[in-house]
Amino acid sequence: MDTSHHQPSHALCVGIPTFIGLILLACAALAQSPNNIVHGTVFDASHKPVAGAAVTLHQKGGPLALDTRTNATGGFTFPDLPSGTYVLEAERSSLHSPATSIAVDSSAEPRPIELVLSSAATAPEMGFADKPDFTVAGIVDRTAAAGHGADTSLRTSESLAREAAALKPDKPAITLDAQEEASLRADLARAPGSFDANHRLGEFCLHAGSFREAIPPLEAAFQINPGNHANEYDLALAQKGAGDYGAARIHVQNLLAHETTADLHSLLGDLDEHTGDSLSAVREYEVAVRLDPTEQNYFKWGSELLLHRAVEPAIEVFTKGAAAHPQSARMMSALGAALFAAGHDEDAALRLCAASDLNPADPSPYLFLGRIDAVAPAPLPCIEPKLHRFLELQPGDARASYYYGMALWNRQHASDDPRDLEPVETLLARAVSLDPKYDEACLQLGILYFTERNYDKAINLYTRVIEINPQLSEAHYRLGVAYERIGEPAKAKEQFRRHAELERQQAAVVEQQRREVKQFIVVLGQQPPHTSPE
C-alpha cells in the first residue's frame, strides 16, 4: 500500500531550501522516531478484515488530519506522526467505527489498533434513533453571550446554565465503614506486595472521595499488575479527582488502546474540559452517549453544550435525554435552563414544573422556577402552585418563603388594594427571620416597605443589606432613592456614586467571564420550529 501521501513531515523535507535549518532538523528528528506510528486493522461485525475501508486520523487540538484506506488484509498505517493525542475512525459504505482516542509517544511501543465497523441504523450503541441535527464545528472567543431579553435575563440564564451543569444525579449516599477502612489498612500492612490488598484500599479511598489517599495503593497495584484494567481505570479516576490530569490522561489513553468504552470516553471528556480543550470534550461526551446512552452521559453532553452557549443543540440533547430517562429530575431541570436561555420562557417553566413533580423533595427545580419567574416579563404558568408546594414541604427553608412571596407579588402588581400585599410581606419577613443574612429577602422586603411609604423601615433594611453584602449594587441605588425621598440629598448622592461604581466593576467582571467562555461554533441542520410541550 502506497502511504507516501500520508507522510507530511517527509514531504516538507523534500525540496525545502537548505537555509531553513531548523525545519530540516525537526524533520530529521521526526524521521528518527520509529515508534510514532499508528497502525491496526479494520474488522466487520463478524471480525473479518475489511479491505478498502476509509480510515481517518485527526490530531486533538492540532491541525493535522490524515486519511488512508485499508489494504487487502484490512490493515492500515499512519507513520511518522508528531507526538500527541489523536482520534481514529473508519468507515466503509454505511458502516462506521466508534471514534477511538489514542496517544502517540516515541517513548512507548506502538500497539495495533482494532476498529470494528457496525451499521449506524442497527448498532446498539447508538443513543439516538437518528443523528443529532447539529455539528459542533469549532470554537470562537466572543464577548457577547447568546441569550435573550435584558441583561438581567441574560445574566440569569448564564447563571442557571452553570448551576444546571453542577446538578448531581439522584443516587443514594454511600456509607463508609471506619472499621472496614481499618481492616483494609491492616490487610495491606500484612501484605504490602499484594495486588488485592492495594487495590481494595485504593478503591475504598476513591469511593470515599479521598483521591490523594487513593492514588498510592492504586499505583502500587498497577505496578504489580499493569494488565488489570479495572484498577487502572480507578487510578485514572483518583488522579482526575486529585487534579493530576496529565497522569490520568496517560492511563485513559492506555486503556483506550485496548478497549473502547463509554466510561473511558466520558472520563477523557472530563479531562479535556479540565485542561481547556472544550471542543474535544464535547466530542468525547457525544461518543460516550453513542456507546452507552446513560443518564449521566446524556447530561454531560448537554451540559457541555449549554455551558459553551450552544443552546439549541443543548435543548436537543436534553430533550432526547429526558425522553430516554423520563425519571431524571436534573435532566428535566437542565432542559428548562436551556429553554430559558433560548428565550422559551413558558416552555422552560413547564419543564421545571415537571422536574419538581419527579422529585418534590429536591429544592433545585423550585429555585430555578423562582429565578426565572423573577426576571420574566409576565407571570409564567404553573410556577405559583409549585412554589407553594415547596413552602409546604420545606417550611423551615427561607428560600421557600422568599420565592413563594415573590411569585405572589409578581402576580399582584396590578392590584391597587394594599391588603393584597399582606401575605407577601408576611412571607418575606418570614424568610428574613429564618435567615437574617438573606440579602435578597431583606432587599425585597425593603422595597415593599418603600412602596407603602414606610421609608424608615425601608432605609433600615437597605442598610442591613449593604452590611450583609456591600457588593449588591441595587441596595445602594434603592437606599439613595429613599434618602432623596426623606430630604437627605448628600447621603443620596453618595449611594448613587457607590451604585455606579459597583455597576462598572461588576460589568467588567461579567465581561471577563464571558470572554473566558469559549463559544462553540455549531452548524444546525434543518430543524422544525420549536413548539411548546403539551
**Each residue of 123-175: pLDDT tens digit?**
333 445 457 888 887 877 554 444 444 567 788 888 898 999 899 887 665 66
Q: Tell me the pLDDT tens digit for each residue of 335-366.
A: 999 999 999 999 999 999 999 999 999 999 99
Q: Which position has the higher pLDDT, 17 or 331?
A: 331
Neighbours of 82 (CB within 10 A): 16
Q: What is the mean pLDDT of the chain?
A: 84
Examine the pLDDT at 518 and tell me if it is beyond 80.
Answer: no
Domains of the chain: residue spans and CATH: 4-123 (2.60.40.10), 169-259 (1.25.40.10)
Nearest CA-CA partner of 366 in 379, 377, 376, 353: 353
Instruction: Between 174 and 221, name the one with better pLDDT.
Output: 221
99 pLDDT higher than 80: no
pLDDT of the residue at 45:
75
- Predicted confidence at residue 240, as pLDDT, reads 97
CA dist 208 → 59, 88, 265 (Å): 36, 36, 23
Contacts of 372 (CB under 8 A, 6+ apart): 156, 160, 336, 340, 345, 348, 349, 352, 380
Going by pLDDT thresholds of 50, 70 and 90, the confidence category of residue 19 is: very low
pLDDT tens digits along 257-284? 999 999 999 999 999 999 999 999 999 9
- Lowest pLDDT segment from 8-12, 31-35, 179-183: 8-12
Q: In what order do the strands lie in the sheet with 38-43?
A: 75-78, 38-43, 113-116
For cell 441596595, what's the residue?
Answer: 475
Lowest-confidence segment of 72-86, 233-247, 290-304 by average pLDDT: 72-86
CA distance 426 to 479: 22
Instruction: Say what the pLDDT of residue 411 is.
Output: 85
In eight-state DSSP terms, residue 199 is H
Question: For residue 433, which of 410, 393, 461, 456 has the smallest C-alpha distance?
Answer: 461
Q: pLDDT at position 36, please? A: 75
What is the residue type of 310?
Answer: A
On the question of pLDDT at 22 being above 70, the answer is no
Provide the pairing of β-strand 75-78 with 84-92. unpaired
Angle between helices 364-375 and 329-341 (to 10 degrees): 10
Q: What is the pLDDT of residue 412?
A: 80
Contact 441, 435 (CB under 8 A): yes
Q: What is the pLDDT of residues 416-425, one digit of tens each?
A: 667 778 999 9
Question: Sign of dihedral through CA atoms 315, 152, 444, 407?
Answer: negative
Contact between residue 373 and residue 344 where contact means Cβ atoms under 8 Å apart: no
Find, among 475, 101, 43, 57, the residue nearest to 263 by Cα: 101
Among the residue ranges 115-129, 393-407, 416-430, 446-460, the one predicted with the least confidence is: 115-129
**Inter-CA distances, 499 with 158, 416, 479, 506, Å:** 23, 31, 10, 10
Counting residues of the chain whose pLDDT is more than 90, the rounded percentage is 56
pLDDT band at 460 (very low <50, low <70, confident <90, very high): very high
pLDDT at 182 over 60: yes
Residue 265 · residue 288 · CB < 8 Å: yes
Do 424 and 409 meet the contact criterion of CB atoms below 8 Å apart?
A: yes
Task: Provide the pLDDT for residue 130.
Answer: 59
If pLDDT is split at 50, 70 and 90, which confidence band does 23 have?
very low
Amino acid found at 23? I
Say if CB 482 and CB 459 are below 8 A apart. Answer: yes
**pLDDT on residue 401:** 97
- pLDDT of residue 8 exceeding 50, the answer is no
Q: What are the φ/ψ torsions at residue 450 (nearest 5 degrees)?
A: -65, -40
State yes or no: pLDDT of 404 exceeds 70.
Answer: yes
The Cα–Cα gap between 403 and 369 comes to 9
- DSSP-derived letter for residue 301 is H
95 band by pLDDT with thresholds 50, 70 and 90: confident
Give me 405's grid cell: 412571596
Measure the CA angle with vertex 264, ends 261 and 268; round to 5°: 140
Average pLDDT of the residues in 503-532: 73
What single-letter amino acid sits at 520? F
**Residue 363 bridge partners (DSSP):** none
**DSSP code of residue 521:** E
pLDDT of residue 414: 56
Are 448 and 420 in contact by the 8 Å Cβ rule? The answer is no
- Burial (CB count within 10 angstroms: exposed 0-12, middle 13-18, buried 19+), residue 330: buried
Residue 475's pLDDT band (cuts 50, 70, 90): very high
pLDDT at position 89 is 85
Closest CA to 282 of 260, 264, 265: 265
